[in-house]
Amino acid sequence: MKLIKKINYLLFIIASCVSLYLGFVYIKNDNLIKLLITMSIIPSMLIPYFLNKLLTYKITDGIIMLYTIFIIAAIILGSLYNLYYLIPLFDKIVHFTTGFLFSMFAVIILKNFNKYDHHNIKFNLIFMASITCMSAVLWEIFEYISDYIFDGNAQRVLETGINDTMQDMIAALLGFIIFAIVYIGKKKSNR
Protein backbone atom coordinates (compact mmCIF):
# COMPACT_ATOMS: atom_id res chain seq x y z
CA MET A 1 0.00 0.00 0.00
CA LYS A 2 1.35 3.42 -0.93
CA LEU A 3 2.22 5.88 1.82
CA ILE A 4 -0.58 8.32 0.91
CA LYS A 5 -3.15 5.49 0.97
CA LYS A 6 -1.89 4.51 4.43
CA ILE A 7 -2.14 8.12 5.61
CA ASN A 8 -5.68 8.37 4.21
CA TYR A 9 -6.64 5.16 6.00
CA LEU A 10 -5.11 6.38 9.28
CA LEU A 11 -6.84 9.78 9.00
CA PHE A 12 -10.16 8.04 8.30
CA ILE A 13 -9.77 5.74 11.33
CA ILE A 14 -8.78 8.61 13.65
CA ALA A 15 -11.59 10.89 12.45
CA SER A 16 -14.12 8.05 12.68
CA CYS A 17 -13.09 7.24 16.26
CA VAL A 18 -13.30 10.91 17.23
CA SER A 19 -16.68 11.11 15.51
CA LEU A 20 -18.06 8.09 17.37
CA TYR A 21 -16.68 9.31 20.71
CA LEU A 22 -18.10 12.80 20.26
CA GLY A 23 -21.40 11.33 19.07
CA PHE A 24 -21.79 9.53 22.40
CA VAL A 25 -20.79 12.70 24.28
CA TYR A 26 -23.39 14.78 22.44
CA ILE A 27 -26.09 12.13 22.93
CA LYS A 28 -25.31 12.12 26.66
CA ASN A 29 -25.34 15.94 26.78
CA ASP A 30 -28.50 16.12 24.64
CA ASN A 31 -26.80 18.43 22.12
CA LEU A 32 -28.71 17.78 18.88
CA ILE A 33 -26.87 20.33 16.71
CA LYS A 34 -23.40 19.02 17.61
CA LEU A 35 -24.67 15.44 17.22
CA LEU A 36 -25.89 16.18 13.69
CA ILE A 37 -22.56 17.80 12.84
CA THR A 38 -20.74 14.76 14.24
CA MET A 39 -22.92 12.41 12.20
CA SER A 40 -21.83 14.20 9.01
CA ILE A 41 -18.13 13.38 9.44
CA ILE A 42 -17.95 9.78 8.21
CA PRO A 43 -20.32 10.27 5.24
CA SER A 44 -18.40 13.42 4.26
CA MET A 45 -15.10 11.55 4.28
CA LEU A 46 -16.56 8.76 2.14
CA ILE A 47 -17.70 11.08 -0.68
CA PRO A 48 -14.48 10.83 -2.76
CA TYR A 49 -14.52 7.04 -2.54
CA PHE A 50 -18.13 6.85 -3.73
CA LEU A 51 -17.37 9.31 -6.53
CA ASN A 52 -14.42 7.17 -7.63
CA LYS A 53 -16.84 4.27 -8.12
CA LEU A 54 -18.81 6.44 -10.58
CA LEU A 55 -16.08 8.42 -12.33
CA THR A 56 -13.80 7.35 -15.13
CA TYR A 57 -11.17 9.96 -14.23
CA LYS A 58 -10.48 9.16 -10.57
CA ILE A 59 -9.84 11.46 -7.65
CA THR A 60 -6.20 10.86 -6.72
CA ASP A 61 -5.07 9.68 -3.29
CA GLY A 62 -3.31 13.02 -2.82
CA ILE A 63 -6.51 14.98 -3.41
CA ILE A 64 -8.40 12.59 -1.13
CA MET A 65 -5.81 13.24 1.58
CA LEU A 66 -6.20 17.02 1.21
CA TYR A 67 -9.98 16.64 1.28
CA THR A 68 -9.85 14.44 4.41
CA ILE A 69 -7.58 16.92 6.19
CA PHE A 70 -10.02 19.65 5.15
CA ILE A 71 -12.98 17.70 6.62
CA ILE A 72 -11.07 17.16 9.86
CA ALA A 73 -10.14 20.85 10.05
CA ALA A 74 -13.54 22.22 9.05
CA ILE A 75 -15.87 19.89 10.92
CA ILE A 76 -13.95 18.40 13.84
CA LEU A 77 -11.58 21.24 14.71
CA GLY A 78 -13.67 24.15 13.47
CA SER A 79 -17.24 23.21 14.40
CA LEU A 80 -16.86 20.69 17.22
CA TYR A 81 -13.75 22.07 18.96
CA ASN A 82 -14.78 25.69 18.24
CA LEU A 83 -11.62 26.79 16.44
CA TYR A 84 -13.81 29.06 14.32
CA TYR A 85 -14.31 31.15 17.45
CA LEU A 86 -10.96 30.56 19.16
CA ILE A 87 -8.75 31.43 16.15
CA PRO A 88 -10.07 34.48 14.28
CA LEU A 89 -8.65 33.58 10.84
CA PHE A 90 -9.45 29.86 11.00
CA ASP A 91 -12.79 30.31 9.20
CA LYS A 92 -11.16 32.27 6.39
CA ILE A 93 -8.41 29.65 5.98
CA VAL A 94 -11.06 26.93 5.68
CA HIS A 95 -13.00 28.91 3.06
CA PHE A 96 -9.78 29.70 1.18
CA THR A 97 -9.03 25.97 1.13
CA THR A 98 -12.49 25.23 -0.29
CA GLY A 99 -11.70 27.51 -3.22
CA PHE A 100 -8.55 25.55 -3.93
CA LEU A 101 -10.23 22.13 -3.47
CA PHE A 102 -13.27 22.95 -5.58
CA SER A 103 -10.97 24.16 -8.36
CA MET A 104 -9.33 20.73 -8.32
CA PHE A 105 -12.74 19.05 -8.35
CA ALA A 106 -13.76 21.26 -11.30
CA VAL A 107 -10.85 19.86 -13.33
CA ILE A 108 -11.96 16.33 -12.43
CA ILE A 109 -15.53 17.17 -13.52
CA LEU A 110 -14.28 18.54 -16.85
CA LYS A 111 -12.16 15.45 -17.46
CA ASN A 112 -15.02 13.08 -16.60
CA PHE A 113 -17.36 14.77 -19.05
CA ASN A 114 -14.65 14.96 -21.74
CA LYS A 115 -14.83 18.77 -21.71
CA TYR A 116 -11.31 19.39 -20.49
CA ASP A 117 -9.33 21.12 -23.22
CA HIS A 118 -5.57 21.46 -22.69
CA HIS A 119 -5.53 24.28 -25.25
CA ASN A 120 -8.50 26.27 -23.95
CA ILE A 121 -7.17 27.51 -20.62
CA LYS A 122 -9.73 30.35 -20.48
CA PHE A 123 -12.71 27.97 -20.63
CA ASN A 124 -11.14 25.72 -17.98
CA LEU A 125 -10.53 28.70 -15.69
CA ILE A 126 -14.06 30.07 -16.16
CA PHE A 127 -15.48 26.64 -15.32
CA MET A 128 -13.24 26.35 -12.23
CA ALA A 129 -14.24 29.83 -11.05
CA SER A 130 -17.92 29.03 -11.62
CA ILE A 131 -17.77 25.78 -9.64
CA THR A 132 -15.84 27.48 -6.83
CA CYS A 133 -18.20 30.46 -6.60
CA MET A 134 -21.29 28.26 -6.85
CA SER A 135 -19.96 26.06 -4.05
CA ALA A 136 -19.23 29.08 -1.85
CA VAL A 137 -22.72 30.49 -2.42
CA LEU A 138 -24.40 27.13 -1.78
CA TRP A 139 -22.41 26.73 1.44
CA GLU A 140 -23.49 30.16 2.67
CA ILE A 141 -27.12 29.29 1.83
CA PHE A 142 -26.68 26.05 3.81
CA GLU A 143 -25.30 28.03 6.78
CA TYR A 144 -28.20 30.47 6.56
CA ILE A 145 -30.81 27.68 6.48
CA SER A 146 -29.08 25.85 9.35
CA ASP A 147 -29.00 29.05 11.41
CA TYR A 148 -32.67 29.65 10.67
CA ILE A 149 -33.83 26.11 11.51
CA PHE A 150 -31.63 25.55 14.58
CA ASP A 151 -31.47 29.17 15.76
CA GLY A 152 -27.69 29.14 15.32
CA ASN A 153 -25.15 31.77 14.41
CA ALA A 154 -22.73 30.11 11.95
CA GLN A 155 -22.81 33.23 9.78
CA ARG A 156 -22.17 35.47 12.79
CA VAL A 157 -24.81 37.91 11.59
CA LEU A 158 -25.16 39.57 14.98
CA GLU A 159 -21.45 40.37 15.22
CA THR A 160 -20.56 41.11 11.60
CA GLY A 161 -23.75 41.69 9.63
CA ILE A 162 -23.08 40.44 6.12
CA ASN A 163 -19.29 40.84 6.42
CA ASP A 164 -18.61 37.25 7.49
CA THR A 165 -20.62 35.81 4.60
CA MET A 166 -18.94 38.08 2.04
CA GLN A 167 -15.46 37.45 3.45
CA ASP A 168 -16.07 33.69 3.31
CA MET A 169 -17.03 33.88 -0.37
CA ILE A 170 -14.08 36.18 -1.13
CA ALA A 171 -11.73 33.75 0.66
CA ALA A 172 -13.01 30.89 -1.53
CA LEU A 173 -12.50 33.06 -4.63
CA LEU A 174 -8.93 33.81 -3.49
CA GLY A 175 -8.36 30.06 -3.16
CA PHE A 176 -9.43 29.71 -6.78
CA ILE A 177 -7.15 32.59 -7.83
CA ILE A 178 -4.11 30.94 -6.22
CA PHE A 179 -5.06 27.64 -7.87
CA ALA A 180 -5.47 29.46 -11.20
CA ILE A 181 -2.01 31.03 -10.91
CA VAL A 182 -0.47 27.60 -10.24
CA TYR A 183 -2.56 26.07 -13.05
CA ILE A 184 -1.53 28.73 -15.59
CA GLY A 185 2.12 28.44 -14.52
CA LYS A 186 2.02 24.67 -14.95
CA LYS A 187 0.36 24.95 -18.36
CA LYS A 188 2.94 27.49 -19.56
CA SER A 189 5.86 25.38 -18.31
CA ASN A 190 4.49 22.34 -20.19
CA ARG A 191 4.51 24.16 -23.54
Phi, psi angles (nearest 5°) of residue 27: -65, -45
pLDDT of residue 117: 86
Q: Who's near 109: CB < 8 A, 6+ residues apart?
A: 127, 131
pTM, rounded to two decimals: 0.87
For the chain, domain boundaries: 1-81, 88-191
pLDDT of residue 182: 96
Residue type, 142: F
What would the mean pLDDT of 60-88 be, rounded to a whole number? 94
Residue 91, pLDDT > 90, answer yes
Which residue in 113, 109, 124 sits closest to 59, CA to CA?
A: 109
Residue 188, pLDDT > 90, answer no
Residue 44, pLDDT > 90, answer yes
Residue 62, pLDDT > 90, answer yes
Under a CB-based contact definition with an 8 Å cutoff, are residues 122 and 184 in contact? no
pLDDT of residue 176: 98
**H-state helical runs in the chain:** 3-28, 32-39, 41-54, 61-71, 83-86, 90-112, 121-150, 157-160, 163-189
pLDDT of residue 1: 64
pLDDT of residue 161: 72
pLDDT of residue 153: 67
User: How far, in Å, CA of 13 to CA of 35, rounded?
Assistant: 19
Under a CB-based contact definition with an 8 Å cutoff, are residues 175 and 99 in contact? yes
pLDDT digits (tens, 9 = 90+) for 112-171: 998 888 889 999 999 999 999 999 999 989 888 888 888 776 666 667 778 888 999 999
